[in-house]
Amino acid sequence: MIAIYYLAFTSGFISLAEEILWTRLFSFSKHALPQTFAFVLMFFLLGIAMGALAGKKITMSNKNLWEMCGFIFLSVGIITLTTPWIYSTIQDNPLQTPLGGILIALTSFSIATIFPIAHHLGTISKQATLGTAISFVYATNIIGSTLSPFLIGFVLLNYFTTQQCFFFCSAYACLFGIYCFKKEKYRSKELFFLTLPCFIILSLFILLPPSQLMMNIASPVGEIRKIIENAYGIITIYKTEKNNDIIFGNNVYDGQTNLDPLSNSNHVNRVIILSALHENPEQVLVIGLSIGTWLKLITSFPEVKHIDVIEINPGYLKAIKEYPLQKEALLDPRVDIIIADGRKWLKHHPQNQYDLIIMNTTYHWRAYTSSLLSKNFLNLLKNHIRPKGIIAYNTTGSLEAFKTSTTLSPHAYLYENFVIISDFDWRQKLQESAAPKKLSSLKLDEKPLFPEGSNRVIKSFLNSPIKSSNDFTNFDSLEVVTDENLITEFKYGKNLFSF
């Protein structure tokens, strides 16, 4: 009976591991759209249903069930390893999405055939009563299904890449296939020839770079300098000709390393002009570190005494080490890096008050972005802002996000795609005579941020068009983003066929 329980445990473990890894892979290819989880789950469950039906037919045949399990697990090993790579080759195919669903269903189908066999072996065993056997088969399957997300999601993905985790699942399936053949007293010579194709395939894949799978799927922005993977996500760094590397988080644009306001390729004017809006921004909160470019620029504000930076993905700290200027910002004694969820941290630190809160928010259509754009979260930020303080964040072109900001204060205005909120009309600050002087006096590492003769650039920053709610037709009919409706992600977001 122990072997049967181990069989049920392994089927549950591998099945959930594959679902986690496919969700991660498919979400990466679809630029972190929220619909990816439901899509993967739908096809995974479809494959399980079909696999269970196939498993039932196998149990009703006259075939040797342990031998069949051996062949099935060897097939699972090959399918688990090859289907992600097949998917990585069809990224430009117009049928990429449905073909991906078929590959997901095939993966779950192959392992799902095992569970009915485990049930059948348990019920015909004379070592336990029928009820006891069924209970233990179910229990061990659930234990495997429960342990898998913990081990894969919280442990292995922190130390190994997605590609390597697929490899581990494949190798485990092949090894368990050998165990099943051993149950039927297969000779070593027979096992060698049976399993040789599997281990040839495994040996070929183990020679590949550990992040090659994600490199194949990553957005074709340019030459990939580095990929950093952990349980929190996947960071891709692209090398550019102008020595201004581009950063993607989970396959979506996340920032650049450019610090030059004259180049302004990453619109750093949106953070630089904030120095003119507050006379004395001593306490600053930055939610989202990314590659640290904006943090470095904020350290040039002379009045700043302390900066709290909340970042959920510690992988960015590793990425920043490649860039000396951004790395220096992390070593600034005024900077405190906090690896945590921004919302949870703010709830647990109600006493912290700030003069300036900045979020260079990711695209509004990405999964979980509503947690930063919602009215609920803005009210939480409001509890942490001092009088005359400034809240600034990226709407990424979502008018619903802008509409939501106006519920916080009547003085919410758009500077490019950034909404800037305060309890006073901050627009006047940009037109004051002190504003150009303040920007021209900014220093980065004791060197002027703006070189001499940059007056025209500074004026263009200060005179950039600012929009209010009155500049948009039917603004009052726009919906407000809340934690409950998630409209920027689903109702007004992108769909799976957008990429």
Which tens digit of pLDDT belongs to each residue from 435-493? 999 999 999 988 999 999 999 999 999 999 999 999 999 999 999 999 999 899 988 88
Q: What is the DSSP string of 204-245?
A: HHHTS-TTHHHHHHS--SSEEEEEEEETTEEEEEEE-TTS--
Residues forming a β-bridge with 166? none
Looking at the structure, tell me whether residues 151 and 231 fall in a common domain: no
Q: What local confidence, expressed as pLDDT, does residue 164 receive?
A: 96
Residue 187 has pLDDT above 70, yes or no: no
Residue 88 is assigned to a structural domain of this protein:
yes
Looking at the structure, tell me whether residues 28 and 72 fall in a common domain: yes
Residue 126 has pLDDT above 60, yes or no: no
Lowest mean pLDDT among 11-15, 132-136, 184-188, 362-366: 184-188
What is the C-alpha separation between 463 and 442, in angstroms, rounded?
18
Looking at the structure, tell me whether residues 178 and 301 fall in a common domain: no
Residue 457 is assigned to a structural domain of this protein:
yes
Residue 181 has pLDDT above 70, yes or no: yes
CA angle, 396 as apex, 288 and 221 as ends, to 5°?
80
**Residues in Cβ contact with 479 at an 8 Å cutoff, skipping those fewer than 6 apart:** 400, 403, 485, 487, 491
Looking at the structure, tell me whether residues 88 and 39 fall in a common domain: yes
Q: What local confidence, expressed as pLDDT, does residue 125 receive?
A: 62
Amino acid at 301: F
- Domain end, chosen from 231, 249, 267, is at 249
Residue 254 is assigned to a structural domain of this protein:
no
Q: What local confidence, expressed as pLDDT, does residue 455 receive?
A: 93
Amino acid at 411: H
Residues forming a β-bridge with 226? 237
Q: Residues 224-254: pLDDT tens digits?
A: 999 999 999 999 999 987 779 999 999 999 9
Residue 189 has pLDDT above 70, yes or no: no
What is the 8-class DSSP label of residue 304?
A: -
Residue whose token pair is 């998630």: 486
Q: Please compute the mean of the pLDDT values over residues 62-78 and round it to a whole number.
A: 91
Nearest to 463 by CA among 429, 493, 488, 496: 429
- Domain end, chosen from 249, 269, 298, is at 249
Looking at the structure, tell me whether residues 245 and 264 fall in a common domain: no
Counted domains in the chain: 3
Looking at the structure, tell me whether residues 30 and 143 fall in a common domain: yes
Residue 162 is assigned to a structural domain of this protein:
yes
Residue 119 has pLDDT above 90, yes or no: no
Query: Does residue 486 sit in helix, strand or coil?
Result: coil
Looking at the structure, tell me whether residues 174 and 55 fall in a common domain: yes
Query: Does residue 343 sit in helix, strand or coil?
Result: helix
CATH number at residue 424: 3.40.50.150
Lowest mean pLDDT among 119-128, 192-201, 261-270, 395-404: 119-128
Return the structure tokens found at 246. 């581009």
CATH number at residue 108: 1.20.1250.20
Looking at the structure, tell me whether residues 245 and 265 fall in a common domain: no
Looking at the structure, tell me whether residues 183 and 308 fall in a common domain: no
Looking at the structure, tell me whether residues 164 and 93 fall in a common domain: yes
**Residues in Cβ contact with 476 at an 8 Å cutoff, skipping those fewer than 6 apart:** none
Q: Residues 84-106: pLDDT tens digits?
A: 999 999 998 999 999 999 999 99
Domain of residue 152: give its range.
Answer: 2-216
- The fraction of the chain above a pLDDT of 70, given in percent, is 97
Looking at the structure, tell me whether residues 311 and 188 fall in a common domain: no
Residue 337 has pLDDT above 70, yes or no: yes
Residue 322 is assigned to a structural domain of this protein:
yes
Looking at the structure, tell me whether residues 277 and 421 fall in a common domain: yes
Nearest to 322 by CA among 235, 391, 206: 235
Q: Residues 310-334: pLDDT tens digits?
A: 999 999 999 999 999 999 999 999 9
Q: Is 473 exposed, middle or buried (0-12, 13-18, 19+ CB in 10 A)?
A: exposed
Residue 58 is assigned to a structural domain of this protein:
yes
Residue 398 is assigned to a structural domain of this protein:
yes
Residue 272 is assigned to a structural domain of this protein:
yes
